[in-house]
Structure formats: structure tokens, C-alpha cells
Structure 1
Amino acid sequence: MKKSLVAPALLSALALSFAGCAKAPDAATPSTSAGGASASAGGAAASGDFKACMVSDEGGFDDKSFNQTSHDGLVRAKKELEIETGEMQSATANDFAKNLNEMVDAKCNIIVTVGFMLGDATVAAAKKNPDVQFAIVDWNDAAKTAGLKNLKPLIFNTAEPSFMAGYTAASMSKTGSIGTLGGMNIPTVTIFMDGFHQGATYFNTQKKKNVKVLGWNPKNPKGGQFVGNFSDVAGGSRIASTLTSQGADVIFPVAGPAGEGALQVAKKSGGKVNAVWVDTDGCVSSASYCSNIMTSVQKAMDVAVFDAIKAAKDGKFSSDPYVGNLANDGVKLAEFHEFDSKIPAELKDELETIKSDIVSGKIKIESASQPK
């Protein structure tokens, strides 16, 4: 892929955050440094008096996906801003409120929650604790956050790079069928699938082809293929196997850790099936599968988390939602890595044009799940 598809500054931030990533502590015990005092929602705090904390979704901080990437932002903040940190992993949804309360009790100045499923629990905690700042990755509901000045949504228009991934997958398919599967039928999952489907459809229109997309149709949102959670790797493998048995030779799993099941299927195929990863650069987070990962749809969640923490520490916190998109490098299509020599120069040029056309508005992505 041409280097212009990847922002150098973003790569540097990603490289730094991955290099600093540490193994997460046990979910039952918050990891905090000694000391630390709470600060008012609008005030700055000295480094030694500032604590940033995080609560994960079910996947945990080693999920090779959205929890881990968000956690990288916390790790980076601890190192670069010289602040104290605390964190709690959630095993199930029942842990959300309890873990948030633990972080409030730990005197955290800002608490970052990770994932759409934590939306209601985060709103409740923000309302109950107006002197604590909150940020949430992958969730925004203007009706529920109205009047809340201490809660900042960090959201991403992943439909944009997913469109590019769908176009790529359709172009590279040898069977004329590609497939996608989700963890759960929620907006932060289906936004990827919408973009992927539309990108493949755009390829068909441009090239007068008929590549089929299995597993998802935006016109029939109840008929998609979903694992039902983000932790069942065997379930991800079963669905991926079903898609490949129907002819799909490129699989796009939007399922967090459960998506590893699709990577397993691709690896066992001996090169007949390949995958597109999500959230992180799969060749970094799941390096053992790199030979089967064509590219990845990345979200710079670590950068957004770091920026939110820094703003809170500097007394510049704002509840205005952050929206990552192709224009601001908040999302992107990753490098092709081991597939770089297999991707035709013509396709690379087309992807450059498609990116420009999405940013300019010439190509309009149709997904009800896109950030407003």
C-alpha cells in the first residue's frame, strides 16, 4: 500500500503504545499506584496528584482488539505524562457498575470505559459523580448525555476504512464470494459490516462484477451472522467455517477475541482463505496469523484515549464527542504487510482514489451506525 495511506504520526503513537503495553492485572483487583487525589471536573492537576483509570469490556485488556488498543493509550499516558493509573477488567456485563464504583473509590480523576456495552453504566456513574471526568470508547447517545459536562464519547467512523477493506476483499477474491461475521448485533459492530458490504458493492458497480458478500446484508440486519458475544473463539471458528463452506475466501470478523476463530480457519486453509482484521493492525496484535491477514481496519483508540487523559490533566477536558475518521487519521486501512507484493499496483491506486473520494464526500457511505 502506498505510504500516504498511513499517517506517520499515528504510526509513531501506535508503535510507542504497543511497546509500552503491560499484561493487565486480575479483574478482581484494581491496579493503582499509591496516593493520588481527585480533582474537580474542570481543574488541572499536578502529575503526582492525577490518576487516570480504565474499565474494560468483557474481552479484557489482552483481547488483541479494542480493549487492548484502548489500554495502550492508558499505558502511554502513564509513561509520557508521569501520572498514576488504575484499571479494572470486566468478566461479564454484571461487572461494569461495580468496576466503575471501584475506580471512583480509588480517587481517579478521569475514568475511561471501553466499549458500547458500558454506555448506560458510564452515564449512571458520570451523573452520580459530577466531580470525576469520564470518557467512553465506542459509544455516544446524545439523548442520554444531554447536560453531562463530565462525559466525553470517543467514537469512530469505521465504515470508511471498512468500505476500502470490502473493495480490497472483493478485488482479491478468487471464488467470487467474501464473508463477514460479528460478535454481537450492535452499532459498533454493524458499522464495520455495513462499510465492508458497501465497499464490495462499489467494486461490483465499478468493475461490472458480481462478488457476493456472505454473512451480512444491511437491508436485512436481523439476518446477519453473529457469535452472540466477543469471547467465544470456537463460535467464531464455526461461523467462519460455514462462510468458507459457502465459498467465501476472504473473511472479515468483527468479533473481538472471538474473531480469532476466523483467523484459525484461514490459517488451516493453506492459503485458500484469508482475513481482514479489525480495530488493530492484525500483523502486530496477532502476528502468528500475519501470513493470512490481508490488511486490517484500524481505529486509533489509543491516541484518542491518550488525548482525552492529557486534556483532563491539563484542565482542558471537553465533553464534546471526538469522532475519528479518515480525514483526521482516527481510522485507516492498515499496511498490507506480507500481502504487499500480491496486491496489484492498480488496486493500490484505486484505494488512494477511494480514500480521497470518501474524505471529500464524493463517495457517501450509507450506514445507520455512522457517528452523527
Structure 2
Amino acid sequence: MTKTTRKALLGGLAIASASVLLAGCGSAPETSASGDASTSDYLPCMVSDFGGFDDKSFNQLGYDGLMKAGEELEVKPKTVESATETDYASNVQGLVDQGCSTIITVGFALADAAAESAEANPETEYVSIDDIVDIDGDGETDFPNIKPIIFDTAQAAFLAGYLSAGVSQTGVVGTFGGMNFPTVTIFMDGFAQGVTYYNEENAADVQIIGWDSAAQDGSFTGGFEANDGARQIAQGLIDQNADVILPVGGPIYQSAAAAIEDSGKNIALIGADADVYETDPSVGALLLTSILKGIDVGVYDTIVAAGNDEFDATPFIGTLENDGVGIAPFHDWEANVPAELSTKLDELKQSIIDGDITVDSYLAS
């Protein structure tokens, strides 16, 4: 089944909420270690998506969670970075060959490689970040040795969209993504829903550019690198008068930040996955907030449990209710956010948790 077909199938999934809370190059992987000498035979490992472990976003969050767990367990994790999509299968196999006990694949795009490897190695544990690994499209994870850690980021993005509409001075906000994957567009779609809700509640007409909810398509760079293509897309949004921009796709936010700085305009940036104010202080002054995914906590908890022979393949779905997703503090932009708007965001969060507001996504149950 192709990724395009899988993406279409994912759009119709309704996955049951989990009962627990956050409960490279194609040749042989290079080892990345932390802690003292291993005191057990347990060996946790990780394969990145392209973008690398220094993307200051989802790959880095996964890496940080793994290293923290390694310190806790007094083991030395192995990691390998993927440079392109063609590296995925060989990188996973390389970790199998090195005797990894648990292999974490970071990103939707690695699902096929994870499924193939899990089927061939039923005694090895797998953790899939951002995908349930449902290659056959039946709505369930294909193999019992895979634990999905996924996030309904549309809920948090809804809050960021409402916030953005509330602070915009031009009446235009924008977003763009790395690739048209469900784990990217879930941010963009939730963001758009938040803007729409703001307009309905406040008789406003804030426009969102870069994403078309009806078509489920928008502006994409075609990859997850900070490059001139990403910068040009960000510049296009600026040229259309957007004064809040949400880039979704690892380090592509760096290209957006460069475009904002060159414009000389008062434009806010929204981070994705991590609190980018903390992971990349160089763009801190631009950040209104970040849309958060608890990847690091999910990886840490899962690996510590697995290292103690308590691996649980039950899917974890991060939501506002279990703090698996959220929005970061306003940091330097706090003075620009009216107190009543901040209070309203708290109320909206509770309304989403209570079910009074429904945020549509492919993960909504």
C-alpha cells in the first residue's frame, strides 16, 4: 500500500482513546551513547526522520526522551539519523542487526519500515512516533509488538489559531507545512478551525492563508529542511499581509524566522512540537507560542517501562485532557496578548476537554 493510500485511509480512522497516560544514513547506524557502562542487556534504539536529531523539534524531542531514559536505566542507547526516505528500512534493519531490544521510529514516514521489521522480528519491541502503523487500513496497529505514540494536535492547534486571530492586526494569518502528511496537516487544520471559531464568536473576518480546509491541501515545501524553498513560501505569506505564521515541519520554522526578520515587520511566529522558545532561543523574540507534543515524555516513559520488562503496546493518544498536547507560554509576546484573550483560551481548552467544542481530526474518536 502506498503512503498516499495510507494517508487517505487515516483520514477516516476513529481511534479509541488509550487507557494509559504518557504511560539516518543507509549504512550501519552510528552509536550515540549516554550514561555510564550498561548494567543490563536491555538496548533501546531510535531512527530519526530526515531533519535529524538537532531539528529543535520532533526528532530532537524523541532523542531527548530516549537519552533521559537511558540515564535512568543506566544503558547506552543507539541512534541513527535518516538522510532520505530510502534510508528508513536499512537504518531499522541495522539496529535489529545490532541487537536492539526496543526500536523507536520517529515520524509518520517510517511506518512502512517499522511494520516490515516488526513482522520479521516478533521478539523485538517497536515504538512508532506519530503513526499507528496500520498498513492494511483496518484501523488497528498491525503487529502486537508495536506501541504507537500519537498526538491529537488539532486540539492544541485550535487554541493557537484562536489566539492568532485574536492578536492579528492585519486580519490575515498563515500556515505552511513540510509535506502533506496527516501528522503535519493536523496542525494546519486545527489552526484553521480555531481561526474560524474566533470569527464566528467575534463577528470577525480574519483570513487564513496557506491551508484550505475544504480541499485538505495547502502550501508545502516538499521536505523538512530549512532552505530557500521554505523561506520563499514564508515570504509569500508575508507578501499577502499575514502577521502570524505557523510553519509545521521541523526546522522549516528557521526559514520562516529569517523571512520575518528580513521583512522588518511585526510578525509573530508559532512553533510546532517543542516549545521553540526553549529549544531555539535565537528566534525567541518572534514566538507568540508553540503547539506542543509530549514526544519526549512519551518516549521516556515507554522506554523506562520497557527497560523494566513492562513494555505495553497499548496506543497512547496525546490530548488536551491528558496533557499530551498543549500550547506553550507566550514568553516575550505576553504583553501583546490581552488578559481576556488568555482567559478565553483557558475556557476553550476546558470546553474541548468537556466535549462542548469538537475539533475535527483523523484521530478524533
TM-score by length of 1: 0.87
Which runs of 5 or more structure 2 residues have no equivalent in the other structure?
1-20
2:298 maps to which residue? Answer: 304
Alignment partner of 2:114 out of 114, 119, 122: 122
CA contact (8 A) 1:267 1:289 kept: no
**1:257 CA displacement:** 1.3
Q: Does 1:195 align with 2:207?
A: no
User: Alignment partner for residue 96 of structure 2, among 93, 97, 104?
Assistant: 104
Q: Is the 8 A contact 1:48 1:84 kept in 2?
A: no
Q: Is the CA contact (8 Å cut-off) linking 1:50 and 1:84 kept in structure 2? A: no
**2:83 maps to which of 86, 91, 108:** 91
Unmatched tracts of structure 1, length 5 or more: 1-9, 14-23, 35-45
CA distance in structure 2 between the partners assigned to 1:26 and 1:147 by the alignment = 25
Match of 2:289 in 1: 295
Match of 1:244 in 2: 238
Match of 2:344 among 329, 342, 350: 350
Q: Distance in 1 between matches of 2:26 and 2:59?
A: 15
CA distance in 2: counterparts of 1:142 and 1:108, whole angstroms: 23
1:70 is matched with which residue? 62
Pairwise CA distance, 1:147? 5.4
Tell me the residue number matched to 2:172.
Answer: 177
Report the CA distance between 1:142 and its aligned residue: 3.9
Which aligned pairs between 1:332-351 and structure 2 lie closer than 5 A?
Answer: 332-351=326-345
Could you say if the C-alpha distance between residues 192 and 131 of structure 1 is closer, same or farther in structure 2, counting changes exceeding 3 Å? same
Cα distance change of structure 1 residues 32 and 66 upon mapping to structure 2, 3 Å threshold: closer
Q: What is the CA-CA distance between 1:231 and the residue it aligns to?
A: 1.1
Task: Give the length in aligned residue pairs.
Answer: 338
Q: Residues 142-201 of structure 1, C-alpha deviation per residue, up to 9 Å, x if partnerless?
A: 464655111011100100110000001101100000000010001000000010000000
d(CA) in 1 for partners of 2:100, 2:133: 24
Contact 2:26/2:87 (<8 A) preserved: no
Output the CA distance in 2 between the equivalents of 1:147 and 1:184.
24
CA distance in 1, matches of 2:159, 2:167: 12
Match of 2:358? 364
| 1:286-310 C-alpha deviation (Å, 9 max, x unpaired) | 2111111100001010000111111
For the Cα contact (< 8 Å) 1:271–1:292, is it kept in 2? no
Q: 1:234 aligns with which of 225, 228, 236?
A: 228
Sequence identity (%): 41
Matched, 1:154 2:154: no
Relative to its length, the structure with more helix (as a share) is 1
Report the aligned-residue RMSD.
2.2
Q: Does structure 2 retain, via aligned residues, the 8 Å contact 1:233–1:257? A: no
1:371 positional shift = 5.2
